[in-house]
């Protein structure tokens, strides 16, 4: 039935920074019976994204300021709803993983004395952050890729994983089924079966959930496939959302805000309005909020009151989603107030001093941007947008999933032999320092590789045994796909179906959430999932991958929405990067509608972690206390003895 069959000790799924590092580390640790399976070598967030100064967070490695593994673990842990043992591992291996990237040639800057100097990022008490520029993660991928090529690690490019195969007790992964996107026309070659002892799953964040998204278009994620196989979700409620441009997806942080652009919305009749003006008492307060958005980029409910910078994200959502207006940043003209153009004397001290010291108390926003950060203009030019002459369409967009699939201190999930690494793994909690995502992805890949190399070296099941174990799962999945093949007729509705779910997620599952809205979205997504085959219309075989991606996204959406519902029902308040409607809460402003009434979580549930299991359209949740940061006296003789006796990797 399935022509193409492979077997390996370990398959790494995904070719982003996390997956490539895991493959390289496995090879270095001696496990060479491996292959990388990816839906697209050039796809994914790491390779295709960046930001003003894309940050890598690590232990301080410069200067006189004191830092320690424990202090870094404390910082990671203090974000709330994060396991202390994982925080400790991420801290302990931060320097090793960072220096590995340095050795590979990622151009992280150092000074004359070899110190890797750092700067402060958000939620960072020290100057631990570093950057190789706007494209740090791209450089990481490119340098790791050179290692993969040099080591001749096999790559299956254009293979979309559609099922994780499990043993009879659903305890352990035993292989996977992929759609060969290069051979969809050929029924003999459409499917590829792989038997493998271990899977390192590095499919990135579930970006395909949202249409208002700053993830690159090529990244949609693959979280639904393991959820379907019984892998638990962890902290799925926790994300980061912020203001980004839509046509070319890019975070509008830093100078883009500090030059004080005009925020305008345009209604269906083309009527333009500087919509912020209505909500602020005076122009100085308004421009201060815009200015602060520059370095308070993610939406944060703690930064709403007193006309804080996160009020802007609420107002953009209100224009966009409720009033159905398109929202833009205008760099060509200065903001106005009651008919009068920007007067720098309106500004508060912080914004005024910043612009004064930058020599930018003049001109229009684009002139100030040209003076302070010309590459920021060039970047848009390179992507077909002329900030000198056009408005830049924006929205509050999903940027990063702090939660994800569950993993232990070796990144192994509840499904044995299945290791989610990188963004697909929910290592982070409520708040995290900027840049810790890239660190976590590298540490996770190394840890999974260490465990596999030490403990899981055995051969995979042979083809017959795999078939005896998982034949039914394979047949069911193939039948499901073939039923979709029967739905090939005329016009496709796959994009429209995805759009419906995406818009639901934008409206109710992003930074503005409420129980009734989430409940009704759950009912709708569940309907789409239950009737998935009969509802889907494909224009041709080449759409099979897209259809299966829809299925993945819908399972993911249902599970994430259920996680949100459970969190709200448990009394969870506004935290992280989202606002939860609460009838006894406060309204950010009296002239905003009731739906924005909220109450901050104030630490409630931040010592708990939510776990969720998907099965057959139903989700079951549970809560566990966070595991503390392990305390150990680290007596050298003891650890050395344990190390020699092979008691560490367990
Ligand atoms: C705009 C933006 C700015 C960011 N800035 C920072 C920052 O400054 N600092 C920081 O630490 N983090 C930042 N992040 C987050 C960080 O970039 C990502 O978390 C990280 O790059 C994810 O790497 P990854 O290897 O886990 O996944 P990705 O790089 O997304 O790779 C996923 C891979 O899996 C493949 N794949 C997916 N599904 C399947 C499937 N079913 N079958 C086969 N293959 C599949 C994809 O094609 C891709 O190759 C930013 C993110 C964005 C969007």
* CATH code for position 346: 3.90.700
Residues 417 and 504 in one domain: no
How far, in Å, from the CA of 423 to the mean position of ligand 1?
A: 6
Ligand 1 nearest-atom number relative to CA 437: 11
- Rounded distance from Cα 137 to ligand 1 centre (Å): 9
Cβ-contact 289, 309 below 8 angstroms: yes
CA dist 289 and 316 (Å) reads 13
Q: How far is the CA of 41 from the centre of ligand 1 (A)?
A: 12
Are 51 and 165 in contact, with CB atoms under 8 Å apart?
A: no
The answer on 451 and 513 residing in a single domain is no
CA of 245 to the centre of ligand 1 (A): 19
Ligand 1 centroid to residue 428 C-alpha, Å: 15
Domain membership flag for residue 285: yes
- Name residue, tokens 């602020």: 280
Which domain CATH number covers 576?
1.20.58.100
Residues 74 and 86 grouped into a single domain: yes
Q: Are residues 54 and 166 in the same domain?
A: yes
Return the number of other C-beta atoms located less than 10 Å from residue 476's C-beta: 11
- Determine the Cα–Cα distance for residues 239 and 245; give it in Å rounded to an integer: 18
Residue 439 lies in a domain: yes
Measured distance CA(28)–CA(36) in Å, rounded: 15
The predicted pLDDT at position 537 comes to 97
State the CATH number of the domain containing residue 67: 3.50.50.60
Query: Has residue 124 got a pLDDT over 80?
Result: no
Last residue of a domain, which of 409, 431, 466? 466
Tell me what pLDDT residue 125 has: 78
Q: Indicate the SS3 state at residue 117.
A: coil
Q: Confirm whether 502 is domain-assigned.
A: yes
Return the ligand 1 atom nearest residue 14 CA: 34
* pLDDT tens digit sequence for 337-355: 999 999 999 999 999 999 9
Angle at which helix 436-455 crosses helix 84-92, to 10 degrees, equals 90
- For residues 384 and 438, state if they share a domain: no
Q: Is residue 632 part of a domain?
A: no
Ligand 1 atom closest to Cα of 17? 25
pLDDT score of 116 more than 90: yes
DSSP letters spanning 586-643: E-SSTTS-GGG-E-B-TTTTTTEEEEEEEETTEEEEEEEEPPPPPP----HHHHHHHH
- Assigned domain for 474 exists: no
Q: Per-residue pLDDT for 1 more than 90?
A: no
Of the pLDDT bands very low, low, confident and very high (cuts 50, 70, 90), residue 323 is very high
| Inter-axis angle of helices 94-104 and 136-150, nearest 10 | 70
User: What is the number of other CB atoms lying within 10 angstroms of the CB of residue 379?
Assistant: 17
pLDDT at residue 303, rounded to an integer: 97
In a domain, 473, yes or no: no
Is 85:627 a contact under the CB 8 Å cutoff? yes
Atom of ligand 1 nearest to the CA of 435: 11
Closest atom, ligand 1, to C-alpha of 37: 43
Closest C-alpha residue for ligand 1 atom 21: 46
Spatial strand order in the sheet of 598-598: 512-513, 579-586, 598-598
292's tokens: 């602060």
Provide the number of structural domains found in the chain: 3
Q: What is the pLDDT of residues 190-209, one digit of tens each?
A: 999 999 999 999 999 999 99
User: Does residue 643 lie within any of the structural domains?
Assistant: no
Query: How much of the chain, in percent, has pLDDT values that exceed 70?
Result: 100
In three-state secondary structure terms, 326 is strand
* Section 132-157 average pLDDT: 97
Residue 332's nearest CA partner among 293, 380, 297 is: 380
Nearest ligand 1 atom, CA 160: 42
The span from the CA of 220 to the CA of 203, in Å, is 9
pLDDT at 36 > cutoff 90: yes
Answer yes or no: do 406 and 392 share one domain: no
Q: Give the pocket of ligand 1 (CB within 6 Å).
A: 13-19, 37-40, 43-46, 49, 51, 54-55, 137, 160-161, 202-205, 214-215, 219, 221-222, 225, 251, 399-400, 422-423, 434-438, 441
**Distance in Å, CA 633 to ligand 1 centroid:** 37
pLDDT digits (tens, 9 = 90+) for 294-321: 989 999 999 999 999 999 999 999 999 9
Q: If 0-12 CB within 10 Å is exposed, 13-18 middle and 19+ buried, where does residue 610 land?
A: buried
User: For residues 20 and 141, what is the distance between their CA atoms, to the nearest angstrom?
Assistant: 7
Q: According to the model, what pLDDT value does residue 583 have? A: 96
Q: Residue 244's pLDDT is what? A: 98
Distance between Cα 495 and ligand 1 center (Å): 22
> Could you say which of 348, 367, 398 is where a domain stops?
398
* Angle at CA of residue 516, ends 513 and 519, nearest 5°: 95
Q: How many CA atoms lie within 13 A of 593 on its CB side?
A: 10
- Candidate of 13, 14, 550 to mutate for ligand 1, largest count of ligand atoms within 8 Å of Cβ: 14
Q: Rounded to the nearest 5°, which phi and psi values hold at 48?
A: -115, 15
Say whether pTM exceeds 0.95: yes
The rounded percent of the chain whose pLDDT value lies above 90 is: 96
Instruction: Give dist(CA 410, CA 85) in Å, integer.
Output: 10
Residues 348 and 378 in one domain: yes
Average pLDDT value over all residues in the chain: 96
Q: How far is the CA of 430 from the centre of ligand 1 (A)?
A: 19
Say if residue 42 is in the same domain as residue 128. Answer: yes
Q: Each residue of 554-576: pLDDT tens digit?
A: 999 999 999 999 999 999 999 99
Q: Whose CA is nearest to atom 36 of ligand 1?
A: 203
State the distance from the centre of ligand 1 to the C-alpha of 488, rounded, in angstroms. 32
Buried b (16+ CB within 10 A) or exposed e, 635-647: eeeeeeeeeeeee
Residue nearest to atom 10 of ligand 1 (CA): 435
* Ligand 1 atom showing the smallest separation from residue 53 Cα: 8
* Whether the Cβ atoms of residue 411 and residue 444 lie closer than 8 Å to each other: yes
Q: What DSSP assignment string belongs to 448-488?
A: HHHHHHHH--SPPPPHHHHHHHHHHHHHHHHHHHHHHHHTB
Instruction: Single out the residue in 373, 398, 423 at which a domain terminates.
Output: 398
Nearest CA-CA partner of 143 in 105, 107, 108: 105
What digits encode the pLDDT tens for the residues 216-273?
A: 999 999 999 999 999 999 999 999 999 999 999 999 998 999 999 999 999 999 999 9
Give which of 478, 423, 467, 473 is closest to 445, Cα–Cα.
423
**Ligand 1 atom showing the smallest separation from residue 225 Cα:** 41
Per-residue pLDDT of 3-33, as tens digits, reads 899 999 999 999 999 999 999 999 999 999 9
Ligand 1 atom with minimal separation from the 41 CA: 49
**To test ligand 1's pocket by mutation, which of 45, 57, 221 has the most ligand atoms within 8 angstroms of CB?**
45
Give the domain range for residue 141: 4-238+400-466
Is residue 340 a part of any domain in this protein?
Answer: yes
- Give exposure, 553-575, as e/b (b: 16+ Cβ within 10 Å): bbbbbbbbbbbbbbbbeeebbbb
pLDDT computed for residue 295 by the predictor = 85
* DSSP letter assigned to residue 426: -
Task: Tell me how far the alpha carbon of residue 400 lies from the centroid of ligand 1, in angstroms.
Answer: 9
Q: For a ligand 1 pocket test, name from 13, 16, 245 the mutation site with the most ligand atoms within 8 angstroms of its C-beta.
A: 16
Do residues 85 and 229 both lie within one domain?
yes
Q: Are residues 416 and 376 in the same domain?
A: no
- Ligand 1: which atom is nearest the Cα of residue 50? 3
Q: What is the pLDDT of residue 2?
A: 85
pLDDT for the residue numbered 8: 98
Q: Tokens 């700053």: give the residue.
A: 214
Residue 51 binned pLDDT confidence (cut-offs 50, 70, 90):
confident
Q: Are residues 20 and 152 in the same domain?
A: yes
Mutation test residue for ligand 1: of 423, 446, 481, 549, the one with most atoms within 8 Å of CB = 423
Residues 186 and 51 in one domain: yes
């Amino acid at each position: 039935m399935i022509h193409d069959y492979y077997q390996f000790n370990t398959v790494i799924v995904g070719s982003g920074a996390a997956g490539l590092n895991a493959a390289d580390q496995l090879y270095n640790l001696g496990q060479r019976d491996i292959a990388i399976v990816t839906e697209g070598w050039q796809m994914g967030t790491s390779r295709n994204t960046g930001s003003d100064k894309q940050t890598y967070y690590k232990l301080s490695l410069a200067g006189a300021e004191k830092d320690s593994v424990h202090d870094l673990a404390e910082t990671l842990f203090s974000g709330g709803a994060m396991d202390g043992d994982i925080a400790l591992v991420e801290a302990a291996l931060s320097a090793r993983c960072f220096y590995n990237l340095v050795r590979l040639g990622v151009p992280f800057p150092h000074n004359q004395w070899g110190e890797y100097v750092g700067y402060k990022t958000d939620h960072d008490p020290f100057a631990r952050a570093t950057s190789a520029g706007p494209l740090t993660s791209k450089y990481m991928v490119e340098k790791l890729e050179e290692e993969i090529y040099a080591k001749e690690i096999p790559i299956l490019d254009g293979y979309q994983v559609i099922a994780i195969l499990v043993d009879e007790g659903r305890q352990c992964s035993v292989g996977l089924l992929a759609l060969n996107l290069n051979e969809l026309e050929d029924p003999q070659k459409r499917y590829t079966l792989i038997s493998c002892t271990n899977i390192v799953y590095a499919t990135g964040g579930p970006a395909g959930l949202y249409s208002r998204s700053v993830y690159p278009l090529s990244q949609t994620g693959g979280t639904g496939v393991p959820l379907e196989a019984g892998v638990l979700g962890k902290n799925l409620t926790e994300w980061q959302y912020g203001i980004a441009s839509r046509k070319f997806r890019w975070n509008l942080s830093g100078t883009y805000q500090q030059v004080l652009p005009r925020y305008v919305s345009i209604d269906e009749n083309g009527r333009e309005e500087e919509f912020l003006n209505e909500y602020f008492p005076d122009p100085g307060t308004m421009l201060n909020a815009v200015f602060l958005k520059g370095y308070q980029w993610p939406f944060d409910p703690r930064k709403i009151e007193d006309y804080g910078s996160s009020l802007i994200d609420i107002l953009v959502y209100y224009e966009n989603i409720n009033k159905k207006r398109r929202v833009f940043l205008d760099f060509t003209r200065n903001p106005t107030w009651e008919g009068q153009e920007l007067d720098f004397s309106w500004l508060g001290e912080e914004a005024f001093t910043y612009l004064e010291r930058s020599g930018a108390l003049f001109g229009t926003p684009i002139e100030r941007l040209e003076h302070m950060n010309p590459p920021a203009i060039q970047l848009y030019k390179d992507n077909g947008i002329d900030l000198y002459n056009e408005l830049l369409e924006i929205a509050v967009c999903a940027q990063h999933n702090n939660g994800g699939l569950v993993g232990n201190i070796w990144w192994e999930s509840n499904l044995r032999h299945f290791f989610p690494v990188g963004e697909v793994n929910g290592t982070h909690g409520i708040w995290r320092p900027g840049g810790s995502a890239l660190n976590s992805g590298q540490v996770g890949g190394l840890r999974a590789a260490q465990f596999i190399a030490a403990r899981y070296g055995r051969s995979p099941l042979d083809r017959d045994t795999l078939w005896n174990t998982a034949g039914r799962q394979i047949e069911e999945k193939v039948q499901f796909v073939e039923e979709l093949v029967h739905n090939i007729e005329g016009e496709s509705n796959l994009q429209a179906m995805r759009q419906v779910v995406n818009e639901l997620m934008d409206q109710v599952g992003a930074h503005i959430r409420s129980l009734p809205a989430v409940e009704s979205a759950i009912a709708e997504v569940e309907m789409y999932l239950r009737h998935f085959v009969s509802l889907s219309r494909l224009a041709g075989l080449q759409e099979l991958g897209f259809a299966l991606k829809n299925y993945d996204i819908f399972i993911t959406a249902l599970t994430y929405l259920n996680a949100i519902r459970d969190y709200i029902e448990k009394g969870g308040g506004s935290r992280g990067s989202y606002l939860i409607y609460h009838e006894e809460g406060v309204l950010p402003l009296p002239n905003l509608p009731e739906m924005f009434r909220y109450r901050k979580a104030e630490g409630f549930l931040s010592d708990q972690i939510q776990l969720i299991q998907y099965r057959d359209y139903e989700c079951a949740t549970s809560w566990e206390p966070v595991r503390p940061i392990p305390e150990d006296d680290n007596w050298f003789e003891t650890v050395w003895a344990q190390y020699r006796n092979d008691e560490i990797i367990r």
